[in-house]
Structure 1
Amino acid sequence: MYLPLVRGKQFELVALRELANVIPENLFKPIIEPVRENYTPLIKTIQILNEKGIQPIVIINPTLGNFIKLEGFIDDALYALDKEINFIPCIKFKDYSNEINLKFESIPGPKAIYIYDKIDPLSTALLNQADYSIVPADAPTGAFKIH
């Protein structure tokens, strides 16, 4: 399985759309962190991936680019532009909070967690509930169960 972690920049989104024509859908699940407030290219990419049977993972609380100061989630804004897009919402966090937990529990269907710093007992509980767990390469082994 190929799970590239990409920023939602123009050329990276174009590359994902092109890869969707080459890699079989059962071997390709991109992880996208949006960086621009203009969602049109991201929506177009998700639509094309969906047409190829690919359900990407999208970080719904990005922390890069235009979202460096964002406090909240963008999934409602994405669905407002296209109710038919199909992606797995991913919550990215550094420190566990009640807001993160409440949002995680409110997501129906498959969901992902991306922890980009330390793993503690509270974040481990979320990792164990997620369908997809994305952790840093230097995470301690045995800190969570693998799905």
Structure 2
Amino acid sequence: MYFPYLRGRQFDLIAIRELVEKNLIDEHIVPIIEPIKLSSTLISTLRAFVETQREVLLIQNPCVGNFANELETHELYEEYVELLKNPYIVITHFFNENSVFEIPEITTNIEKKIEDLAIIHKKDNIGLLPIYKEIYSSVIPKYTIIPYEQAFRRRMRGQNLVCLKNEFKKQKRNTDYAIDVDEFFSEEHLHYNSEGLLGFSDYSVVGDDYSEGGFAPYAIALHIVYFAYDNDNSDYVLRIRHFVSDSNDDIRDPALKCSEALKKLEEWTYTIRFDNLFKTYAIEQLLEHFYRGAYPGLPTLKKLALMHHIQLVNIFLRGEVTDELL
């Protein structure tokens, strides 16, 4: 199973909502949402997963944004709490030194059992495992997300483990991405099962950095993953290619920058085996924007790159990546 970790920005939420509404992902994909604010988009996304009977993990004590501060006074609070009671919304908790008190309180308020929760361990929380084992002495969480660290794996054998790893090599500026050069992205989809893991998790093509605001970039960069055969693994790994605009001397004319990046994507599709496997819904939408000469805006470009990655992993997990297709 793949657990894409999303920071709850609007384009993140719309991406997974559209994927589930369009039936482009199935039970192999279980998103993790760290909400940054309570919004109508968050509510509609959660509702889409409930209505399609797909699981989604929702963090209740996020480390970013203003979610916790505004929650109980928000006009959507009651609707939000009702959604939390649904079994397809998996209440998720960042483990900390207060969890021995917070976790029972969560289950009481939302009427769920402790074993129905998901727990996330941070890298520097290895010393808190005795507290964790005190809480889960007789039951284990539905999902336990741990850092990609051997120390956690050794001490938590027998749990429903999911390893979280940052695969995306984020650059400070879009102009810093290597133009027309692709690079290795991930192979966790090949090994998680044999390593005794329930699933694998990453921050997709967004990365683990979080910032409150955005700014007009000098360059537009599209980050597109694809499958390529790897001799060392004797199987298909994920690689990533960056399509970067050319007119990057200033922030003017983002529509031109978008067209330049999309043109490179369109040209690249002729150099690979471009069939129904690679041609995800998001890729079709990106190419449609190029052919129409339309500029959908940066959030939409990011949303489509994210949708493409998640749908592509789902295709692999369904067993549909074969030599015949590639």
Using structure 1 for the length normalisation, give the TM-score: 0.78
Structure number with bigger Rg: 2
Residues 78 and 108 of structure 1: is their aligned pair in 2 closer, same or farther, counting only changes over 3 Å?
Answer: farther
Q: Which residue of 1 aligns with 2:78?
A: 80
In the TM superposition, what whole-angstrom CA distance separates every residue of 1:104-127 from its partner, at most 9, and x where no partner exists?
A: 553514211111132321124446
Query: Which of these residues, 88, 91, 100, is aligned with residue 89 of structure 1?
Result: 91
Say which of 108, 112, 116 aligns to 2:112: 108
Partner secondary structure for residue 118 of structure 1: helix
1:146 to 151, 159, 174: 159
Unaligned stretches of 5+ in structure 2?
161-326
Contact 1:93 1:114 (C-alpha < 8 Å) held by counterparts: yes
Task: Give ranges in structure 1 of 5+ residues lacking alignment.
Answer: none
Query: Which TM-score applies when normalising by structure 2?
Result: 0.38
Aligned with 1:50: secondary structure?
helix
Matched, 1:133 2:144: yes
Q: C-alpha offsets along residues 70-114 of structure 1, whole Å, 9 cap, x if unaligned?
A: 48x87xx97611525631101113335432343355351421111
Identity of aligned residues (%): 29
* Secondary structure of the corresponding residue to residue 50 of structure 2: helix
SS in 1 for 2:147: coil
User: Separation in 2 of the partners of 1:105 and 1:48?
Assistant: 23
Number of aligned positions between the proteins: 140
* CA distance in structure 2 between the aligned counterparts of 1:48 and 1:39, rounded to whole angstroms: 14
Q: Does structure 1 conserve the Cα–Cα contact (< 8 Å) formed by 2:100 and 2:135?
A: no
**Contact 2:100/2:131 (8 A) holds in 1:** no
Over 3 Å counting, the alpha-carbon distance change for 1:8 and 1:139 in structure 2 is: farther
Matched residue, 2:65:
65
Q: Which segment is superposed worse, 108-117 or 121-130?
A: 121-130
The Cα of 1:19 is off from its aligned counterpart by 1.9
> Could you tell me whether the CA contact under 8 Å between 1:8 and 1:34 is conserved in 2?
yes
